[in-house]
Chain A
């Protein structure tokens, strides 16, 4: 990357913030806590998921410090069990699942489809309060004895034997489920009924398609985890026997119910991130997206096929050989729509005039990391190989490549992409690119060694390990500290930019979506007049109004900021 990287987008000089926008329309704490504006609710979520990211991050830090030495450096074995459990619960249920949908989805869906708000604004606010209530229960569990069952809450450990604060945690996640359900319901209705004139289904931004698919999982998957955890909670409170073999119950049944939701939950995390990437790639390649219909359809396909594969988590826990065979085969199928996306993004890049602005760095990083995460998923879907690597660090590395390398990269990339829209300000580009690179390096150094560790046989969830694994573990911890820096940097400069950043203007990148046709930050009612859409999505070729150099001839110089 050259010196040109610190250039700010060309349109920013001379822009003024709009006089009145959603951030300054009303003042005071009440105007935030009682808001029904989807944009403000998105910011409420932004603050709260960031909080949980820190909670989960602190546990992760302690885990990595503990694993510096083979005997374990920091905590007792019992505490170690709590650390990885609470890390998982905080990150999965209270950060990853709500992150992109509730923050970016809430902010963007109405803007992208040209609506004044979501279909049910009060319900939207209620979702946030439910999330906070669930979060309080879980924090209460963390503070009063912690949680040591693993984030999977397998019975009868969780329902009978664990001495930690399982009941409040289960209640918290049960409550939080309704936040997901209501958010999904709101999104689906909004996308169906609130589109602006001319915004046909196949003119929807791919981010909206991704959110729609995610909402399907919210609506049809979340109720199952809710009832399952409720049953496990009742079993614990009243000594019932649904999942307790000592009382005739069936622990495998719990796993079926649990994974029926929790495998698709992975797609709740990754699908929206794919949606973000589908927005960023054409913007910074200055080209219409390649294979729009296929990318849209593959989102739906992933959401649907994702419900047919859950028992690949149970190959070694007692399901029948024949069921395992079927689930293994079905799991491979998910690779098809996933690959469709990757190929289409790559084709979009082909002969594009690419500029490496910060969001693009995240999107490119996402493609690489998701590729590794996805392909190692195929290793795990393979019955024979899974016997060897099941419950090892290979699995840990695999799902961190998907969830952190994929979902979190997408989330942070999306935050950077839409930050000028959300705040009206531009962050320092050089620092932002630096942070993206630091994140990428830190991430790989943290998690790639874990593939090797797992392949060599280091089991997950153990507080100690044989001395020959120490080098790789130290590498991983070193990577984690770089990773932490990569997360702290954006926190700092994004916050800084809210006050001191340059004014962005309505469409700084520039991009084609409807959300860029209104001031930044947008007014409370999103658009001054209801927009009418008469253009195709990502049509960078026919948009002279964007002020891009004509991108048709590949020999021409890139639009700006290219290396």
Chain B
């Protein structure tokens, strides 16, 4: 478990990136993106949030430098969340397909 020391410079850079992304997401919410594609606003918001989360996990939490085992645990957590969300939403989405 050799430790990787991330330089303060990189930390600062990540912080700035997070700030820029925060600004972007606030700005994006004030623009009517739904006009172009239904639900685009929330998609953009979630993509930006995912990018921010990824930056935090990879660099602030050192997952980028961690063992395969640690990375596997992160993937497992996210994957299980994805199972729960996707299968449940699949039920809701497919209800309107019903032919009676």
Contact = CB atoms under 8 A, between A and B. Distances in A.
Given A192-B69, A220-B76, A220-B77, A323 B83 contact: no
Contacts of A260: 84, 88
Nearest to A330: B87
A289 interface: no
A54 interface: no
A321 B77 contact: no
B23 to A, nearest CB: 32
B80 A307 contact: yes
Nearest to A307: B83
Main SS of chain A's interface residues?
helix
A155 to B, nearest CB: 16
A323 B92 CA distance: 9
A320 B97 contact: yes
Given A320-B94, A322-B94, A322-B97, A220 B80 contact: yes
Contact of A319 (B77, B80, B83, B91): B91
Contacts of B76: 216, 220
A517 interface: no
B95 interface: yes
A323 B80 contact: no
Given A224-B84, A308-B83, A323 B90 contact: yes
B93 to A, nearest CB: 8
A323 B69 contact: no
Contacts of A321: 94, 97-98
Interface residues of A, number: 19
Nearest to A192: B69
Interface string B54-80: 000000000000000100000011001
Contacts of A409: none
A320 B84 contact: no
A504 B40 CA distance: 70
A311 B87 CA distance: 9
Contact of A311 (B77, B91, B95): B91
Interface residues of B toward A: which range? 10 to 19
Contacts of A335: none
A326 interface: yes
A21 interface: no
Interface in A96-151: none
A172 to B, nearest CB: 24
Contacts of B97: 320-322
B87 to A, nearest CB: 7
B98 A320 contact: yes
Interface of B: 69, 76-77, 80, 83-84, 87-88, 90-92, 94-95, 97-98
Interface of A: 192, 216, 220, 224, 252-253, 256, 260, 307-308, 310-311, 319-323, 326-327
15 contacts: A216-B76, A220-B77, A252-B91, A260-B84, A308-B83, A310-B87, A311-B87, A311-B91, A319-B91, A320-B95, A321-B97, A321-B98, A322-B90, A322-B98, A327-B87
Report, nearest first, the 4 A-B pairs whose CB atoms are least far apart.
A323-B91, A322-B94, A320-B95, A320-B94
